[in-house]
A and B are shown apart, each in its own frame.
Chain A
Amino acid sequence: MVTGNVRIRNALSESKPGIGTKLGFSVLYAVLIVVAALQLFPLVWLLFFSLKNNQEVFNLPPLSLPMNPRWENYEKVWSAGNIDVYFFNSVWITVSATVITVMLGSLVTYAVTRMKWKGSSLVLGLFMVAMMIPVHSTLIPLFSLFNKVGLTDHPLSLILSYVAFNMPITIMILLGFYYALPREVEEAAIIDGCSVNRMFFRIVFPMTSSVLATTAIINMIYNWNEFIFVNTFISSDSYKTLTVGVQNFIGQYTTDWGAIGATLMISILPILITFLFLSNRIVEGIAAGSVKG
């Protein structure tokens, strides 16, 4: 912990470089680079792993280069049918669930942190309790619920579940940010006769773009990788998502790890690109002046 603090101090005092600072910087960068290499390791490993067959996966060290890369793993996965359908479903279900969750979550957080009403803490409590149930406890009741309203084997069952189960965590994260937002701006706006809707959409919502990007990334990752609900609520191939593609390579007695690797690689690319894009939205805090204008 102590070294960590030293690192921060060094990092922050770049304006007055001295010998100690320079050394500190070298150490800091050395550490940063080593950790970065460790963090890149899984992606590289996954790439290698997707180019091996079962025996090579199990018997060679994980980072050994695939001697004769088995691109046929990718061919096998693509030709194993329905991957394109799964892919498309993953995209639109992930995007819609993420947008709805972040939007609805922001509205709730705003109402809870900024507006004055009885029962706001109760409502918040209700949302918090909702993230405490283990997912396997919900499968049987949820299936029977969707069955009642005719939503089994319907993509809406997935979107509703994703929104509902990610809402609490989304609100929790937003909460920490909303508490720290300055009230002065809103007070001024209200005195100017601004309506609540206008204030939320025009002033508060844009001010939270960092945290919106953060929650969007988190939601996106969760929705993209989810498979228990898909397997339970969906039975038609035309509604299944990409994670099912991975599951399809895990069999009763045998498991084709090369193909699993290839599926994982294919499935991680879109989310990696989106992540790189979204993470640029986490920008410097709003300069105090820009809000007033």
Chain B
Amino acid sequence: MDKVLSNKKIIALYVLPSLLLILAIVYIPIVLTAYYGLNEWNGIGAMTFVGVDNYLALFKDTTFWNSAWHSLLLAVFSGISLLLYLIVAMVLAARIKGANLFRKIYLIPMLLSSVAIAQLWLKIYHPTNGVLNSMLESLGFANPPAWLAESSIVLFALFIPILWQYAGFYILIYYAALKNIPASLEEAAKIDGANALQIAWKIKLPLVMEVIKVTIVLAVVGSLKYFDLIFVMTDGGPNGASEVMASYMYHEAFRAYDFGYGSAIGFFLLVICLAVTWVIRKLTASKDTIQYS
């Protein structure tokens, strides 16, 4: 068995095409980004090698650390919201009437592009005639806040559409994982007298654990390099209150023409992602993986 499963030719055949593609298309940019980060470069003229100056400057740059903090907050919220998505997926995967229809409807928002989602939420948050403030005013709240213009709330106001945007993605994955559990397992447990909660906790959860671990990494890494809605809805403002690492990278590289510094931010962002992923995998490591039997 081992002999068959360690056939080098087959392994090479399965892995090499993808690996080479990744190395060319993703790793060359990664390595070049690290290298640009060692230079002073406006992206146009000649580069000047400055060693680790950009990286040192990064450590002293409060704007960067603020944006890193915002990204980290988003990562924490994304991670926590996974629990909610899991519960929704469990309900949808249960054999209740109409579950199929509900599932399809629930996933529709994930089909929308960021451009559309941003426009929708800009209309919801509009300070004078937005849906939210119109509703609050009709409920008797005088002078509700301008959600995207107040430094103290803008970040959280942005988190809601971001989390909502990705809800469908995780519900879909959890749903597929739950559906993949053989029905016979659940039935056997029922015969043994287990109630629904026990089935969910003792049987389903362990079987989708590997998927959950993966989604934690995806959610955290995705949040740390998040860009889209923030860029369209607030552009990192006001006064940098919603600036995240990726938008800061973009502003430095493409607006301020400091491509060297922007690249340093980009590469450091990768290092942070790597470190956080490593921590997550350490924390969630388990001795053995559980399979369906």
A sample of 6 inter-chain contacts (CB < 8 A) reads: A225-B114, A268-B111, A279-B172, A282-B175, A285-B182, A287-B183
B143 at the A/B interface (Cβ < 8 Å)? no
- Looking at B21, B116, B225, the one whose CB has the most chain A CB atoms below 10 A away is B116
Q: Report chain A residues within 8 Å CB of B212.
A: 176
In the bound complex, residues from chain B placing their C-beta under 8 Å from that of A32 are 91, 98, 102
Among A13, A61, A164, A276: residue with most chain B CB under 10 A: A164
Determine which of A163, A284, A287 lies in contact with B21 in the assembled complex, contact meaning CB atoms within 8 Å: A163
Contact B106 A35 (CB under 8 A): yes
On whether the beta carbons of A243 and B221 are closer than 8 Å, the reply is: no
Given known A-B contacts A39-B108, A172-B214, A279 and B292 have beta carbons under 8 A apart: no
Q: B97 → chain A, closest Cβ, in Å?
A: 9
Most B-side CB within 10 Å, residue of A108, A180, A225:
A180
Number of A-B contacts (CB under 8 A): 324
Contact B181 A285 (CB under 8 A): yes
Residue B239 is within 8 A (CB to CB) of chain A in the complex: no
Residue contact B269 to A134, C-beta cutoff 8 Å:
yes
Cβ–Cβ contact B176 & A214, under 8 A: yes
B73 CB-CB contact with A under 8 Å: no
**Which residues on B sit within 8 Å (CB–CB) of A246?**
113, 115
A130 touches B22 (CB 8 A): yes
B18 touches A133 (CB 8 A): no
Q: Is the CB of B173 within 8 A of A173?
A: yes
Nearest-Cβ distance from residue A250 to partner chain B, whole angstroms: 9
Please, which residues of chain B bring their CB within 8 A of the CB of A138?
26, 29-30, 33
Chain B residues, CB < 8 A from A268: 111-112, 116
Q: Given the complex, which residues of A lie within 8 Å of B43, measured CB to CB?
A: 140
How big is the B interface, by class?
A: 35 or more
Assembled-state Cα–Cα distance A134/B195 (Å): 46
Please tell me if the beta carbons of B179 and A282 are within 8 angstroms of each other in the complex: yes
Closest to A286 in B: B182
Give the chain B neighbours of A5 by CB distance below 8 A.
Answer: 87, 197, 200
Q: Which residues of A contact B274 (CB under 8 A)?
A: 129, 132
CB distance from A185 to the nearest CB of B (A): 10
Task: Tell me the complex Cα distance, A213–B179, Å.
Answer: 12
Closest Cβ of chain B to A59, distance in Å, is 7
Residues of A within 8 A of B113 (CB): 225, 243, 246, 264, 267
Residues 141-167 of A, flagged 1 when their CB comes within 8 A of B and 0 if not, give 110010000000000000011011101
Interface status of B217 (Cβ within 8 A of chain A): yes
Interface flags, A21-63, vs B, CB<8A=1, else 0: 0000000110010011001101101100100000000011111
- Contact A197 B10, CB 8 Å, known A172-B214, A173-B214, A177-B180: yes
A213 proximity list for chain B (CB < 8 A): 176
Digitize B67-107: 1 where CB-to-A-CB distance is under 8 Å, 0 elsewhere: 00000000000000001100100110011101000111111
Residue A239 CB within 8 A of the other chain? no
